[in-house]
Structure 1
Amino acid sequence: MRILDRLLALLEGVVIAVDAIRANKVRAGLTILGIAVGVFVVTIMSAAVHGINSGVSKAIAAAGPTTFFVTKWPGELVSCNGSADSCPWRRFPPLTIDQARGIEGLSSVKLVVSQIGSSTPVKYADRDLPSVGLNAYTPGWLEVEGGALVDGRDFTAAENDAAAPVVLINGKLRERLFGDGGAIGKEIRLGGQQFTVIGVFEPIATAFDSGEKGRLYMPFETAKRRLDVGVNWMQMTVKPRDGVTRDVAMDEVLGLLRTERRLRPGDANNFHISTPEKILEMYNKVVGAFFLVMIVLSAVGLIVGGVGVVAIMMISVTERTREIGVRKALGATKAIILWQFLVEAATLTGIGAVIGLVLGTGIAAVMRNMTPIEAAVPPTAVVAALVASAFTGIAFGMLPAIRAARLDPVDALRYE
Structure 2
Amino acid sequence: MFSLFRENIRIALDSIKGQVLRTVLTVLIIAIGITALVGILTFLGALEKTITGDFASMGSNTFNIQRYEFTTRNNREREKINPVISYRNVKEFSDRFQYPYTKTSVFFTGTSNAEVKFESEKTDPEAQVVGVNENYLENTGTGIEKGRNFTFFDIENNNHVCLLGSDFTKNLFKNTNPIGKTISIRGVKFKVIGLLESKGATFRNNQDLKVLIPLQVARSMYTLPNINYNISVKVDDKQFLEGAQDEAIITFRNIRRLNPIEENNFGLERSDDLINRIANITSYLYIAAWIISIITIFGSSIALMNIMLVSVTERTREIGVRKALGAKRNTISGQFFIETVLIGQFGGVIGIILGIAIGAIAASISNFEFSVPWLAIFAAVVTSFLTAVVSGLYPAVKAARQDPIESLRYE
- The question of a shared fold, defined as TM-score above 0.5 by the shorter chain, is answered with yes
Instruction: Give the stretch that moved more between structures: 391-400 or 167-176.
Output: 391-400
TM-score when normalising by structure 1: 0.84
Q: Distance in 1 between matches of 2:92 and 2:386?
A: 59
State the partner residue of 2:403: 408
Deviation track 1:214-247 (CA, whole Å, cap 9, x = no partner) reads: 2222222222222337764322221224374321
State the partner residue of 1:281: 276
Q: How does 1:16-415 map to 2 (within 5 A)?
A: 16-76=11-71, 80=75, 82-83=76-77, 85=78, 87-88=79-80, 90-94=81-85, 96-102=89-95, 104-107=97-100, 109-117=101-109, 118-119=111-112, 120-124=114-118, 125-205=120-200, 207-208=202-203, 211=206, 214-228=209-223, 232-242=227-237, 244-299=239-294, 301-329=296-324, 332-361=327-356, 373-415=368-410
Q: Is the 8 A contact 1:43 1:382 kept in 2?
A: yes
Distance apart, 1:384 and its partner CA: 0.9
Are the structure 2 counterparts of residues 12 and 319 from structure 1 closer, same or farther at C-alpha, using a change threshold of 3 Å? farther
TM-score when normalising by structure 2: 0.85
Q: Is the 8 A contact 1:76 1:278 kept in 2?
A: no
Give aligned-pair identity as a percent: 27
Q: Distance in 1 between matches of 2:70 and 2:198?
A: 22
Q: Is the 8 A contact 1:28 1:312 kept in 2?
A: no
Distance apart, 1:389 and its partner CA: 0.7
Q: Is the 8 A contact 1:305 1:349 kept in 2?
A: no
Q: Distance in 1 between matches of 2:44 and 2:95?
A: 40
Distance apart, 1:201 and its partner CA: 0.6
Number of residue equivalences:
406
The one-letter code of the counterpart of 1:116 is F
Distance apart, 1:113 and its partner CA: 1.0
Q: Distance in 2 between matches of 1:337 and 1:179?
A: 69
Instruction: Give the stretch that moved more between structures: 234-243 or 308-317.
Output: 234-243
The one-letter code of the counterpart of 2:90 is I
Q: Is the 8 A contact 1:364 1:376 kept in 2?
A: no
Q: Is the 8 A contact 2:133 2:150 kept in 1?
A: no
The one-letter code of the counterpart of 1:409 is P
Q: Is the 8 A contact 1:147 1:202 kept in 2?
A: yes
Are the structure 2 counterparts of residues 78 and 110 from structure 1 closer, same or farther at C-alpha, using a change threshold of 3 Å? closer
Q: Is the 8 A contact 1:99 1:260 kept in 2?
A: yes
Instruction: Give the stretch that moved more between structures: 361-370 or 36-45.
Output: 361-370
Are the structure 2 counterparts of residues 241 and 102 from structure 1 closer, same or farther at C-alpha, using a change threshold of 3 Å? farther
* RMSD after superposition: 3.1
Q: Is the 8 A contact 2:67 2:82 kept in 1?
A: no
Distance apart, 1:97 and its partner CA: 1.5
Q: Distance in 2 between matches of 1:384 and 1:266?
A: 52
Point out where structure 1 has 5 or more consecutive residues left out of the alignment. Answer: none
Q: Is the 8 A contact 2:66 2:266 kept in 1?
A: yes
Are the structure 2 counterparts of residues 23 and 331 from structure 1 closer, same or farther at C-alpha, using a change threshold of 3 Å? closer
Are the structure 2 counterparts of residues 222 and 297 from structure 1 closer, same or farther at C-alpha, using a change threshold of 3 Å? farther
Q: Distance in 2 between matches of 1:230 and 1:371?
A: 34
Deviation track 1:16-38 (CA, whole Å, cap 9, x = no partner) reads: 44333333333322222232233
Point out where structure 2 has 5 or more consecutive residues left out of the alignment. Answer: none
